[in-house]
Structure 1
Amino acid sequence: MAEYLDVLRSEKKYPISAGVYYRLRAHLMQTLKLDDFCDNAEGYLVRSLYFDSFTNRDFYEKEDGLECRKKIRLRSYGREEPVKLEWKQKQGTFQRKRSLILYEKDACELIEGRYRCLLNYNIPLAKEFYSYMVSEMYRPRCLVQYRRLAFVAPVNDTRVTLDSNLHAHEGRFELFMQDPPLYPVIDQGRATLEVKYNQFLPSYVKDVVSSFQLTEQAGSKYCAARRYGLGGVML
């Protein structure tokens, strides 16, 4: 099992309606391959627990549109997959995502606000997480869950995802709970298209996406999910 991942690539997001979702899904099914996590066209569940500082700095930096900003989250795919502690940073037109693979027991420690377990990992990123989260008083803020249908292409590590059924909770942080209490964040039937790639987007993928004349928006599942506590908005 890899313990550390570092990815830097372009990432574009497009809000889409239910009608566009099903038509786009049909086109992508004919053009690209489903990723290894997708057993069928319904996709799989993704659950993330977002952390933020005492002053909710990450939320407000995103809302203010700062050029350089970040998010820290625990991510689980609800199966026997490893838990990831991720540090996602916006760097101009690129997104850098550094991930540390954790044992589930250590992820539970982080959920409780105990971060010393990170010092047991002999990886510089783990020490960086520990130092930053302790000094900036990071705590769990919001649990987010959605369904993802993911497609991949070998050229430029291209990845296209359709995310729907977005739900969240700002007070319950049971990342590993079978059926946590969640409220809807996204209007029924709406979804988000995300297109990620290195260097340039392959033309055959670009043609599929551009045929729907979508409008790119810098949306954030985390910020939308915090609509009760911090005034986020429905996507």
Structure 2
Amino acid sequence: MGEPKLRHEIKHNINYSDYIALRQKLKYIAKPDPNAGNSGKYRIRSLYFDNYSNKALMEKINGINNREKFRIRYYNDDLAFIRLEKKGKVNGLCFKRSARLTESQCSMIISGDLDWMKRSTDPLLIELYFKMNYQQLRPKTLVDYVREPYIYEPGNVRITIDSEIKTGLSSKELFDRELPTLKTRDSDPIILEVKYDEFLPNIIRDIIQLDNRRNTAFSKYAQARVFG
């Protein structure tokens, strides 16, 4: 499968005033992600995996240096492009691997029909198959949110602003568009994430200072698990 590309990640929990100020600056120096379409935003639904001992959740809460989590996600209710993703951290740097899935394959994974996965030619699907067996990983909870993404090419910088974060509680109904969801907090958090390769350009560093707000370890999955 090869070694994953390791990237730096910065997160800030920002307020609405921060968001407006940041958005005004970004439009002059960064490009909207073309995948976001005319609105500049898209909706994301993710189904996260964990096991009976809450391995992924506890690794996050305890700040384990090398950790991973699996999820299935799609965008704007488009079931033609669904991805299995493994996201992790190694010595403070983040990585992500992904594989395409069909709606039928997702349904089989959610229902526990797994034998077909071991015959896959995709290493990530095979890895999930074995971890669903020997670690007992299972679909755990749904998370919905809205993302506003930007790209700044020097340094391969990706800037995202996430809001309207909601949980489907313990539901596994990934494709139920009418599924009731609940805010993960009374107030609507806005999460700024900045990912980059070897260096963060000064122009980006300067505009994300936001009155010296401190980095946060906010996790959408961990917030959703407050509800079960």
Same fold (TM over 0.5): yes
2:158 pairs with 1:159: yes
Structure 1: 5+ residue stretches without partners: 230-235
Which stretch of the first structure deviates more once superposed, 100-109 or 202-211? Answer: 202-211
1:109 aligns with 108
| Matched position secondary structure for 2:7 | strand
Matches within 5 A, 1:137-216: 137-216=136-215
105 and 7 in structure 1: CA distance in 2 versus 1, 3 angstrom threshold: farther
Tell me the CA shift for residue 122 of structure 1: 0.7
SS of 2:133 mapped into structure 1: helix
Structure 1 counterpart of 2:35: 37
CA distance 1:187–1:13, shift in 2 (3 Å)? farther
Structure 2 contact 9–194 (Cα < 8 Å) conserved: yes
Residues 81, 201 of structure 1: alpha-carbon distance in 2 compared, 3 angstrom cutoff: farther
| Change in CA separation of 1:17 and 1:211 when aligned onto 2, cut-off 3 Å | closer
Distance 2:123 2:60 in 1: 26
Distance (whole Å) between structure 2 residues aligned to residue 126 and residue 201 of structure 1: 33
Greater Cα offset, 194-203 or 38-47? 38-47
Unaligned ranges ≥5, structure 2? none
1:212 is displaced (CA, Å) by 3.8
More deviation, 110-119/88-97: 110-119
Q: Offset of 1:181 from its aligned partner?
A: 1.0
1:89 aligns with 2:88: yes
- Read off the aligned partner of 1:61 and give its amino acid letter: E
Alignment partners' CA distance in 2, 1:143 and 1:189:
17
SS at match of 2:85: strand
Distance 1:7 1:75 in 2: 20
Taking structure 1 as the reference length, what is the TM-score of the superposition? 0.89
Aligned-partner residue type, residue 213 of structure 1 = N
Q: How many residues align?
A: 226
For 1:177 and 1:117, how far apart are their aligned partners in 2?
24
Compute the TM-score of the two structures, normalised by the length of structure 2: 0.92
> Which residue pairs with 1:217 in the alignment?
216
Between the aligned residues of both structures, percent identity stands at 33
Q: Which moved more, 1:7-16 or 1:139-148?
A: 7-16
